[in-house]
A = this chain, B = another copy of it.
Amino acid sequence: MTPRETRRARSRRQPDSGVRQLPRQQFVNHIKPVEFVSEDELEAIHTASLRVLSEHGVEFVLPEAREILKAGGADVRPGESMVRFDPQVIEEHIKLAPSSFRLFGRSPAYDLDIGGNHICFGTVSSTPNVTTLEGRRSGTMDDFCRFLKLSQRVNVAHNIAGHVVEPVDVPVPLRHLRTAHATLTMTEMSFRVFSLSRQRVLDVLEMSRLARGQTVEQMREAPGVFTSINPNSPRQYDEAMLWGMIECARVGQPVFVMPFALAGAMAPASLAGAMTLQNAEALAGIAFTQMVAPGTPVIYGGFISNMDMKSGSPAFGTPEAVKTTLIGGQLARRYGLPYRASGANASNVVDAQAIYESQMSLWASILGGANYVYHALGWLEGGLASSFEKFIIDAEMIQALTQVMQPVLINAEELAVEAIGSVPPAGHFLESPHTLDRYQDAFYTPFLSDWRNYEAWEAAGAATTNERAARIAEELIDGYEQPAMKPEDRAALDEFVARRVEQGGAPVQ
């Protein structure tokens, strides 16, 4: 959108809520990514990664995957799960992946362009707990559904990054069926398929197809789910993740290859070394997807943080994580691939630490040129808890940052030389025609921040940001309405799930 269009869009109010968000939209990041390391330094990381792949290799545990790798030209040795790659095998396969693709919602407003300078934000995923203003407890299916409702209603929540919270009360063999059913029927967003076993992946792929009334060919043309793979760093793709990559690639659903490692634990304690490992793992995984099916949409992911070397705790939103996020973006651009980064923090509650670490993550993502920011809404406690309040605070922070990315309009009218001349020294512009033309939508209006003076704020109850966020979350959830689904699609989906539940679901591999 042009700045003028953004302004106009901004002034449209959602009729059904007092919470005035920016309209649901795809954002373009006009800030040129930060080139944190020099071209030579970037090349040194690239070359080191290729040396890791050719000299040391990556383990692919699944024999069927090794067959594919062998056929693709990788160095697969009999009786050995370690696979080595000549640099040109990597380079020629990486080139087959598209530089951008579209991930489809169940309605066009939820479609996402992934690549170029588009940026979108996904929810938190995979946390076992929920933290509220009252404390922390295990996640339930009820919480899961409340987070889905909130996601559907928060306009900068672009898609569902997986289990917005883990519904611990649903038996594991049935969990993927219940959560995918809820996500498909309660939201219109694309979402993540967990690659935890081949059967679970096949179930969810089929559910996504049925819910959209697609043929397999249509599914390939309009992917609605994706998988996100964190190899077992260092240097291992296990059976479940390889089946997930294979099955998703076969039906054209995007594969996010996203090594997640803490420098000092699963990766070297040097950032250059951690990036070398990340890049080697990502390149091997992405090359593999292209051997399965050339042209499979992929995302190059980066999520290197560091360990607290004193306590062994994982840390997020650190200076080191900012730098690896920036360098990861440079690598992704070098390979012409879309880039995924993450919003994250390590705080146990929604306090100052949670916010400053999240801001570090978000700024790094934006400056790194990320196309998709995972865990961007609701993440707490290093990924062990989801928070409704944090979800709203993150939405506010993301909204503001999407406005930072928009260019400033510079032309004679905006430069305002005459308007400036018409206001006397030490006067004011409040009644200037130049101001009156613009005052309604000149600036971004937050939905969460309270800009009243202390006295007015105190008289109104002195609510902190967390308290306001909790109220907003309640209001949005209360106002949720289930989106439509074609009755025949819904019937096919329900029938499939009923059958698979009757069969006992799918045990985790």
Contact = CB atoms under 8 A, between A and B. Distances in A.
Given A266-B429, A269-B442, A31 B34 contact: yes
B356 A420 contact: no
A121 to B, nearest CB: 15
A233 to B, nearest CB: 8
A425 interface: yes
A349 B45 contact: no
Contact of A445 (B58, B264, B308, B466): B308
A359 B345 CA distance: 14
Interface string A209-234: 00000000000000000000000111
A443 B408 contact: no
A276 B420 contact: yes
A82 interface: yes
B352 A59 contact: no
Given A264-B435, A452-B313, A319 B401 contact: yes
A385 B454 CA distance: 10
Interface stretch (A163-171, A185-193, A409-417, A498-506): A409-417
B264 A429 contact: yes
Nearest to A357: B449
Interface stretch (A48-56, A290-298, A336-344, A481-489): A48-56
Q: Which of A232, A352, A419, A458 has the most CB of B within 10 A?
A: A352
A30 to B, nearest CB: 9
The winner among A349, A423, A426, A427 for most chain B CB atoms within 10 A is A426
A73 interface: no
Contacts of A355: 352, 355-356, 359
A264 B430 contact: yes
Contacts of A397: 356
A154 to B, nearest CB: 16
Contact of A265 (B41, B44, B323, B430): B430
Given A415-B44, A457-B348, A235 B420 contact: yes
A270 B429 contact: no
Contacts of A313: 451-453
A236 B349 CA distance: 48
A432 interface: yes
Interface string A430-443: 10101100111011
B450 A420 contact: no
A347 to B, nearest CB: 7
Interface of A: 31-32, 34-37, 41, 44-45, 48, 51-52, 55-56, 58-59, 82, 136, 232-236, 238, 263-273, 276-277, 280, 306-311, 313-315, 318-320, 322-323, 327, 346-357, 359-360, 363, 367, 381, 384-385, 393, 396-397, 400-401, 403-404, 406-411, 413-417, 419-421, 423, 425-430, 432, 434-435, 438-440, 442-445, 448-454, 457-458, 462, 464-466, 469
17 contacts: A31-B36, A36-B408, A58-B425, A82-B425, A268-B416, A269-B434, A269-B438, A271-B414, A272-B411, A309-B439, A311-B451, A318-B443, A318-B444, A319-B406, A322-B404, A347-B465, A353-B465
Given A45-B410, A348-B453, 17 more contacts: A37-B410, A55-B417, A59-B426, A232-B426, A235-B420, A270-B442, A271-B409, A273-B415, A319-B400, A319-B406, A320-B443, A323-B404, A327-B408, A349-B464, A351-B464, A351-B465, A352-B354
